[in-house]
Amino acid sequence: MRNKVIPYGRQSINQDDIDVVVNTLKADFLTQGPKIKEFEDDFANYVGAKYAVAVSNATAGLHLAVLALGLKTGERVITTPITFAASANCVKYVNGEVWFADIDPNSYLLSLESTRKLIESKPKGFFKGIIPVDFAGLPVDMEAFRALADKHDLWIIEDACHAPGGYFTDSKGEKQMCGNGNYADIGIFSFHPVKHIACGEGGMITTNSESLYKKLALLRTHGITKDDMAENHGGWYYEMQELGFNYRLTDIQSALGISQLAKNNSGVTRRNEIANAYKEAFRGKIKFQYVPEGAYNAHHLFIIEVDDRKGLYDFLRTQNIYAQIHYIPVHTLPYYKTIGYGDADLSQSEHYYSKCISLPMYPSLTDEEVDFVIQKVLLFSS
């Protein structure tokens, strides 16, 4: 028995992260200062997108994304049930309808085929958009989803909250970083401490569209601007052109984000080392997430499937290993159940949920801790 709890995820904050935050506290701006733009530029550069808009959290980012894309009351959007509720909730914020398509049983990602079937079972124009999720850090083949979306005139929001640093390889053999905006209209990232980049709370929206970028930036700060005004009464004058929100990130958080982002590649490399150790130990014995050819998993999570999931979860707790379940299918959450998703055929998602468990996965996990987790999982499963 170990005394130290091994959680499923954990932030890595070093002295250099602390120093930049302290320096920002001593500088002129706590919010709306120079660090926000610097973080946005660094982030856009990192994923290879033209524009980035920093926001207070990824949920706010998803809300602004559906607003900027013009989603209206009653309009329908498809997403996966195997995600955090926020991927679906953003559609409900603007009184849209959420429809779920099933997952692929091996990659656990939204299935292209079940999405296609759902779209083709309805008249043209029935759906407005798709929100695929780079689940666990595994990039969606966004090129394939773009082809489907174009055929039916749909927009795509890539929920890349799990996947900064992940990429897939497109049909031309080029690496496509998650959230780079080459195929999806908008990408969304989260800086919640369990995700790769910890800002406390925080999020980033990425896009290659200048018009979407301008809308997102306006909506983030009350719809108020000093640019492109119809009138100008003097230096104090501004216009509120739309009903926006205060979804800003602070300068303090942005300074931390800049420092954290600079370490993301080494963090993702370490996450992949840990994943490889798990895979080597479990291959042929325990099912784990399948990674398609040419894809690089950013590994927010490492998920296995076992028959006695509750048994393993409880056993690992007795060993101070705090594994977690990702996720309870969104359509089965009480809020969505009462809306009436009871009879949707999402059997792959439900089957997956009955078996899935996420093992500890974060850069500061030591080799010795990884071995300890492996040993206990194998002991329970044998």
Residues that bind ligand PLP (CB under 6 A): 57-59, 83-84, 86-87, 133, 159, 161-162, 190, 192, 203
DSSP string covering 160-214: -TT-TT-EEE-TTS-EEETT-SSSSSEEEEE--TTSSS--SS-EEEEES-HHHHH
CB of 54 to ligand PLP, least distance (A): 12
Give SS3 for 57.
coil
Give ∠ CA 326-163-281 in degrees, rounded to 5: 60
Contacts of 71 (CB under 8 A, 6+ apart): 77, 91, 94, 96, 128, 129
Q: What amino acid positions are annotated as catalytic residues? A: 195
**For residue 369, with 0-12 CB atoms within 10 Å meaning exposed, 13-18 middle and 19 or more buried, which class applies?**
middle
Q: Which is nearer to ligand PLP, 190 or 250 (CB)?
A: 190
CB of 126 to ligand PLP, least distance (A): 25
CB of 59 to ligand PLP, least distance (A): 3
CA 122 to CA 120: how far, in whole Å?
5
* CA neighbor of 61 nearest in space, from 191, 198, 250: 191
CA 75 to CA 126: how far, in whole Å?
8
CB of 107 to ligand PLP, least distance (A): 15
Q: Which is nearer to ligand PLP, 58 or 67 (CB)?
A: 58
Q: Which is nearer to ligand PLP, 40 or 282 (CB)?
A: 40
Q: Which is nearer to ligand PLP, 83 or 206 (CB)?
A: 83
Q: What does R_g of the chain's alpha carbons equal in angstroms?
A: 21
CA 180 to CA 87: how far, in whole Å?
19
* Contact call for residues 44 and 261 (beta carbons, < 8 A): no
CB of 55 to ligand PLP, least distance (A): 9
* Contact call for residues 182 and 31 (beta carbons, < 8 A): no
Q: Which is nearer to ligand PLP, 110 or 377 (CB)?
A: 110
* Contact call for residues 93 and 63 (beta carbons, < 8 A): yes
Distance of CA 205 to the CA centre of its chain: 11
* Contact call for residues 255 and 23 (beta carbons, < 8 A): yes
Q: Which is nearer to ligand PLP, 17 or 201 (CB)?
A: 201
Q: Which is nearer to ligand PLP, 161 or 186 (CB)?
A: 161
Contacts of 73 (CB under 8 A, 6+ apart): 94, 95, 96
CB of 121 to ligand PLP, least distance (A): 26
Q: What is the dihedral of CA 9, 178, 355, 130, to 10 degrees?
A: 130
Give ∠ CA 98-143-353 in degrees, rounded to 5: 45
CB of 231 to ligand PLP, least distance (A): 37
* Contact call for residues 78 and 101 (beta carbons, < 8 A): yes
CB of 311 to ligand PLP, least distance (A): 26
Q: Which is nearer to ligand PLP, 87 or 260 (CB)?
A: 87
